[in-house]
């Protein structure tokens, strides 16, 4: 699933290309992707003619602030990613000759917006888990994907003292706490592994066992790793691609995620992978304590 760095990469790509543009049409072969309003025809009626005023990220959500007092919320979920380009509809599929948009991973287009400058905004989503919601902007704060989110990792208000207070009052394993969107917004399986490796903290350590110094290392690592991942345009080990259809480069900087059986880049010990609540944790058993 795209996490904060991937979503931020997407938002920055969209801001360059589509700010000020107007939706002139919308197509889907998967009406269930549209969660609000329930009927696609109603969604289409409202979205056409709306101008894109602002594009921003909250957690793993992409939000388009539109004219007329509306906001479009897109959560890419497991395999979704937004693309910008031009496609032609042939034999029941949207096709393009543009590279790298023509790569197979970019071909699962189930939602497509036409813009007033001839550009198209497409959602490619192999598993069709992504969701799209249209809200009145004044009501966006009550959207389930927004109103329960914790603070952003780079929010100025998230000082170390506040981070420490937030983490210290939780119960459970630190990796699960970091992935809880109600605690901190935007961190998932990939970056929780990388953050904890950088901080030299075992993912199974319970929060109650962490010292203030441990939490400080996690706080510092969180900001360092996420900043680096954004600069490298995210992780594309799975389905994520940026708006041009290109891979991110964080794969080259990945230390433990999906590197089970490989030597730890810090001490040479074999990296382990264990199950944790239906997810996986990757870590070095020697230098993460």
| Active site positions, annotated | 2-3, 60, 279
Rounded CA gap, 267 and 284, in Å? Answer: 9
Going by C-alpha positions, the residue among 51, 29, 8, 16 that lies closest to residue 230 is: 8
Contacts of 43 (CB under 8 A, 6+ apart): 26, 34, 36, 37, 132, 134
Angle between helices 212-231 and 160-168 (to 10 degrees): 110
Is 282:260 a contact under the CB 8 Å cutoff? yes
Which three-class secondary structure state does DSSP give residue 182? coil
Rounded CA gap, 274 and 282, in Å? Answer: 7
Contacts of 26 (CB under 8 A, 6+ apart): 43, 44, 47, 48, 111, 112, 113, 114
Rounded CA gap, 90 and 100, in Å? Answer: 19
Which three-class secondary structure state does DSSP give residue 240? coil
Q: Where are the alpha helices (DSSP H) in 90-159?
A: 144-147
């Amino acid at each position: 699933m795209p996490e904060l760095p991937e979503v931020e990469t997407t938002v920055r790509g969209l801001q360059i290309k589509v700010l000020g543009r107007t939706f002139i049409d919308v197509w889907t072969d998967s009406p269930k992707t549209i969660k609000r309003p329930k009927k696609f025809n109603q969604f289409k009626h409202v979205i056409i003619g709306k101008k894109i005023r602002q594009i921003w990220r909250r957690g793993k959500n992409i939000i388009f602030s539109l004219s007329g007092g509306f906001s479009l919320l897109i959560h890419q979920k497991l395999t979704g990613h937004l693309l910008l380009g031009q496609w032609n509809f042939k034999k029941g599929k949207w096709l393009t000759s543009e590279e790298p948009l023509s790569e197979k991973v970019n071909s699962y287009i189930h939602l497509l917006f036409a813009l007033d400058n001839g550009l198209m905004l497409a959602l490619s989503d192999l598993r069709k888990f992504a969701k799209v919601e249209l809200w009145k902007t004044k009501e966006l704060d009550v959207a389930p994907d927004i109103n329960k989110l914790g603070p952003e990792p780079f929010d100025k208000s998230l000082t170390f003292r506040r981070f420490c207070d937030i983490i210290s009052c939780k119960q459970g394993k630190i990796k699960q706490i970091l992935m809880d969107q109600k605690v901190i917004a935007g961190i998932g399986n990939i970056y929780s592994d990388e953050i904890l490796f950088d901080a030299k903290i075992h993912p199974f350590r319970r929060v109650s066992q962490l010292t203030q110094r441990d939490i400080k290392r996690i706080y510092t690592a969180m900001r360092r790793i996420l900043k680096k991942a954004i600069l490298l345009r995210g992780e594309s080990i799975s389905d994520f691609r940026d708006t041009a259809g290109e891979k991110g480069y964080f794969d080259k900087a990945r230390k433990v995620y999906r590197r089970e059986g490989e030597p730890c880049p810090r001490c040479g010990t074999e990296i382990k992978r264990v199950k944790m609540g239906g997810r996986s944790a990757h870590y070095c058993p020697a230098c993460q304590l």
